[in-house]
Amino acid sequence: MNLAIASLADFVGVFLGFILTLLVFSYVLGDNPLFRLAAHIFIGVSAGYAAVITIYNVLLPQLIFPLIYGGEGETYFSIGMLIPSLFLFAKVTPIKRAGNWAMAILVGIGAAAAVGGAITGTLLPQTIGTINSIEPSATGDTTWANWLNAGIIILGTISTLIYFHFGVRSKPGRIPKRFAFIEKIGKIGQLFIATTFGVLFAGIYLAALTALIERISFLWNFIKEIGLQLLASV
């Protein structure tokens, strides 16, 4: 991999990237001021970048430009959005109660969107997917292995859901306990949860390993292509 340096800005950028990578890698030795410095740079840059993207992609085209250049309807609609938006700024002032109404709109819309998204985006598709796994016409495979796999998927789905059922019936003088059969199915659910988290862990570890290889490769190339030249010139 070459570093592809075409200009002075690229050179400065690659040099900065090299320094920042070393600062972050110093965390391997434990939490230290160098790592904290990189973390604070990262938070500052990320917040600034998010603000710029938000202003350019959302606020200017959806609020400011319709307010200035839009037709009559768009202007009134933008004024309608601007008022609760200004109320939101009151949240960081002593009159923060004024921001509650704007926050209520945001929370109400967010909650409804979350409920709608959970029903149409997760609950229905995942339920249909589970049903389809035992529907031969959906897969076209009627071998015993397919039936067995479908059974395992259904057992995994149901036992995982049951594991998170913590409802108990309390009786006076007794410690509240889950039903014995729920406890037993919950144990099977734990196995499936461990399997799923194991697969997720392995996936994340592979991604982290790929990033580590990329960074080490970058450091090596920097030292080979630029670092040695700089040392020779000194």
Residues numbered 81 to 140 that lie near other proteins (CB under 8 A) are 81, 84-85, 88-89, 91-92, 96, 100-120, 122-123, 126-127, 129-130
Q: Is 32 in the site for other proteins (CB under 8 A)?
A: no
Q: In this structure, are residues 67 and 82 in contact, taking their beta carbons and an 8 Å threshold?
A: yes
Residue placing its CB nearer to other proteins in the complex, 4 or 232: 4
Distance in Å, CB of 28 to other proteins, minimum: 6
Of 58-66, 67-75, 167-175, 177-185, the window that binds other proteins (rule: CB under 8 A) is 58-66
- Contacts with other proteins in 157-186 (CB under 8 A)? 157-161, 163-164
Of 136-144, 155-163, 170-178, 225-233, the window that binds other proteins (rule: CB under 8 A) is 155-163
User: Which of 68, 128, 152, 223 lies at the binding interface for other proteins (CB under 8 A)?
Assistant: 152
Q: Is 222 in the site for other proteins (CB under 8 A)?
A: no
Q: Is 171 helix (H, G, I), strand (E, B) or coil?
A: coil
User: Which of 52, 68, 79, 168 lies at the binding interface for other proteins (CB under 8 A)?
Assistant: 52
Q: Token digits for 102?
A: 């704007």
Distance of CA 25 to the CA centre of its chain: 23
Distance of CA 71 to the CA centre of its chain: 38
Q: In this structure, are residues 225 and 2 in contact, taking their beta carbons and an 8 Å threshold?
A: yes
CA distances from 228 to 17, 25, 138, 139, 212 (A): 17, 21, 61, 59, 22
Q: Is 143 in the site for other proteins (CB under 8 A)?
A: no
How buried is 93 (Cβ within 10 angstroms: 0-12 exposed, 13-18 middle, 19+ buried)?
exposed
